[in-house]
């Protein structure tokens, strides 16, 4: 799809974008998009780092699979 763009198509797109946003606003838009991408990457790194660092220790499978023992189950209405 992008391979079908010629130099004339790109120049027309640049002209339309310049007319829509103006020459002063285009650098501001580029900066804000760049900051947004940096924040997104930083957020992804924070999530992966905290997931790896704060993973709870695995309990032995015997403790998780055993049914509870003792009295009858409690009712929620009481």
Q: Tell me: pLDDT of 1 over 70.
A: no
Pairwise pLDDT comparison (61 vs 45), residue with the higher score = 45
- For residues 25 and 17, the answer to whether their CB atoms sit within 8 Å is no
What is the average pLDDT value for the chain, to the nearest integer? 79
Q: Is the pTM here over 0.75, yes or no?
A: no
Q: Are 17 and 26 in contact (CB under 8 A)?
A: yes
Which are the contacts of 20, defined by CB distance < 8 A and separation ≥ 6?
Answer: none
């Amino acid at each position: 799809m992008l391979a079908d763009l010629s130099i004339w198509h790109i120049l027309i797109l640049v002209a339309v974008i310049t007319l829509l946003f103006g020459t002063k606003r285009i650098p501001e838009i580029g900066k804000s998009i760049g900051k947004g991408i940096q924040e997104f990457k930083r957020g992804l790194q924070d999530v992966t780092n905290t997931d790896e660092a704060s993973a709870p220790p695995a309990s032995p499978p015997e403790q998780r699979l055993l049914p509870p023992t003792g009295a009858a189950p409690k009712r929620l209405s009481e």
